[in-house]
């Protein structure tokens, strides 16, 4: 493959975990490989963490937490700002590691470090808003509440945007006075190891701890540790349910979950189709190989515009350029890992078996450069029925299902027929229709004449099985505290 990006020299060894302010190997002395999904070559070896490593990380976090919580808001904010500056200095290195490790294209990944830093700085700036309140419960006495940190927070980060999520999800818990144990995905651990190096240089020992390894050992140990009272996950519905079950067996915990979606993009006959058609491709996030919880993977078209829009979407999707993710010309890279690749293949077979019409894609692209790696063409199915598996189940891959609707009643039933509800998009020129539909869609994050974008300080999260809690806004900061009520009897 031709690579037009000039890659800086990357140090692809000596990746370590961060525990108690030290960059260390695993207690197990074992390692596991991180693979480049574009060619299946091993990029680096990473420590294979164990339950003992998690126990050490929690102990270090507990030890560091009282001193961290006793710092002023100004001082905590200063630490986060220094961390942001240090990460900015290594942004290019982090970008190239991310591209190699995830398979996401460099043009799209180029903003991920900056987006993570922006959210980190947002929380660094609103710490003083972490307020309690007073209530005039009785005359002559004082009744008030305080916001106090949980202590040790466990965070589990997914494979699709590892460094952005790792950076951004530190802001709220740290500003609230907690310390952390962070686990990156076993599929994409490299950039988070670099994050550990930066944290070691900037933060007090034990404030942030990073343990690499597999979910069934490291992840499970974090979830089940009795002194990790607060947990947060971005992942699949199946994983979220498993975490709830596992955590409940050992303790009562506060858990927030940002899980998958089977998100609708609804197009009305009066919509500006010149914008809606490319938006349908953008909303599917083919640029991320469809590996995004918020992808609008169900395109719901009114029957009067169905053929026109479907043809336009197929034309754009089939023309997307698959290329080396390091090329600035690439519009789509490989699927992240073998398991996800096989899952996409399964759903393409399911679509065909259930009677959907394959309009484009559905296979590995042709060409010698695509013989190795987890490459899959952008795929569009037409004539999809609501009962089909590709219409009901999250694929988390480059597969768009296009459905037809006739009446508003028909539309509402189709839209809300799935058991998840993360995002949704409505395309119409009629504001009354848009607001009405936005109200009855059972999803937590809605765009009107837009797709995909996240906006600063706006709560992101899902309805139904798409999760619990909200992130990216002020409420996330509050969620990392417990409320204490105090009565002063005068």
Question: Which residues are the active-site residues?
Answer: 258, 293
Burial of 295 (0-12, 13-18, 19+ CB in 10 A): buried
Rounded to the nearest 5°, which phi and psi values hold at 215? -65, -35
Tokens of 117: 């830093």
What is d(CA 76, CA 81) in angstroms, rounded to the nearest whole number? 9
The residue ranges of DSSP E strands in 37-175, in sequence order, are 41-47, 142-149, 152-156
Helix (H) or strand (E) holding 199: helix 190-202
Helix locations, 220-295, DSSP H: 220-224, 237-248, 273-283
Rounded-to-integer distance, Cα 377 and Cα 182, Å: 34
A 10 A CB-CB count for 419 gives 13
Most distant CA atoms of the chain, gap in Å:
82
Report the alpha-carbon distance of residue 396 to residue 231 in Å, rounded. Answer: 23
DSSP strands (E only) in 406-462: 420-421, 423-427, 445-448
Sign of CA dihedral 183, 188, 192, 193: positive
Give the integer Cα–Cα distance in Å for 52 and 65.
20
CB distance 459 to 473 below 8 Å:
yes
Q: Are residues 477 and 129 in contact, defined by beta-carbon separation less than 8 angstroms? A: yes
Q: How does strand 264-267 pair with strand 298-302?
A: parallel
Per-residue exposure over 462-484, b if at least 16 CB sit within 10 Å of its own CB, e if not: bbbbbbbbbbbbbebbbbbbeee
Angle between helical axes of 190-202 and 91-102 (0-180°, round to 10): 150
State the pairing for strand pair 228-234/254-258: parallel
Look up tokens 């916001």; give the residue: 147
């Amino acid at each position: 493959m031709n690579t037009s990006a000039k890659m800086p020299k990357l140090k692809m060894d000596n990746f370590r975990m961060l525990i108690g302010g030290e960059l260390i190997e695993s207690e197990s002395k074992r390692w596991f490989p991180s693979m480049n999904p574009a060619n299946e070559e091993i990029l680096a070896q990473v420590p294979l963490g164990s339950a003992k490593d998690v126990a050490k990380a929690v102990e270090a976090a507990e030890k560091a937490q009282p001193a961290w919580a006793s710092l002023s808001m100004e001082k905590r904010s200063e630490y986060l700002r220094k961390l942001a500056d240090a990460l900015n200095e290594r942004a290019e290195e982090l970008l190239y590691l991310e591209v190699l490790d995830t398979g996401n294209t460099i043009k799209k990944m180029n903003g991920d470090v900056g987006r993570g830093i922006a959210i980190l700085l947002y929380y660094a700036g609103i710490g003083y808003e972490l307020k309690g309140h007073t209530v005039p419960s009785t005359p002559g006495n004082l009744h008030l509440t305080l916001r106090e940190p949980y202590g040790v927070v466990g965070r589990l980060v997914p494979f699709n945007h590892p460094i952005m999520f790792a950076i951004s999800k530190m802001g709220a818990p740290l500003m609230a006075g907690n310390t952390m144990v962070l686990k990156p995905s076993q599929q994409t651990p490299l950039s988070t190891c670099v994050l550990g190096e930066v944290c070691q240089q900037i933060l007090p020992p034990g404030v942030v701890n990073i343990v690499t390894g597999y979910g069934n050992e490291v992840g499970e140990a974090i979830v089940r540790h009795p002194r990790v009272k607060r947990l947060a996950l971005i992942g699949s519905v199946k994983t979220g349910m498993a975490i709830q079950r596992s955590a409940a067996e050992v303790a009562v915990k506060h858990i927030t979950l940002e899980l998958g979606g089977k998100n609708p993009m609804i197009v009305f006959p009066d919509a500006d189709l010149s914008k809606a058609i490319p938006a349908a491709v953008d909303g599917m996030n083919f640029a991320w190989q469809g590996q995004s919880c918020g992808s609008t993977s169900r395109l719901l078209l009114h029957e009067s515009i169905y053929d026109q829009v479907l043809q336009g979407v197929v034309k754009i999707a089939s023309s997307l350029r698959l290329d080396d993710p390091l090329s600035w010309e690439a519009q789509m890279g490989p699927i992240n890992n073998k398991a996800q690749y096989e899952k996409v293949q399964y759903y393409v077979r399911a679509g065909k078996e259930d009677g959907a019409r394959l309009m484009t894609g559905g296979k590995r692209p042709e060409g010698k450069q695509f013989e190795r790696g987890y490459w899959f063409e952008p795929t569009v199915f037409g004539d999809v029925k609501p009962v089909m598996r590709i219409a009901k189940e999250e694929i988390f891959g480059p597969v768009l299902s296009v459905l037809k609707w006739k009446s508003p009643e028909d539309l509402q039933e189709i839209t809300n027929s799935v058991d998840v509800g993360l995002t949704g998009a409505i395309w119409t020129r009629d504001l009354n229709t848009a607001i009405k539909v936005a109200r009855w869609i059972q999803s937590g994050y809605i765009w009107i004449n837009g797709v995909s974008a996240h906006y600063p300080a706006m709560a992101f999260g899902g309805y139904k099985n798409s999760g619990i809690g909200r992130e990216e806004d002020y409420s996330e900061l509050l969620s990392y505290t417990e409320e204490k009520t105090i009565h002063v009897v005068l």
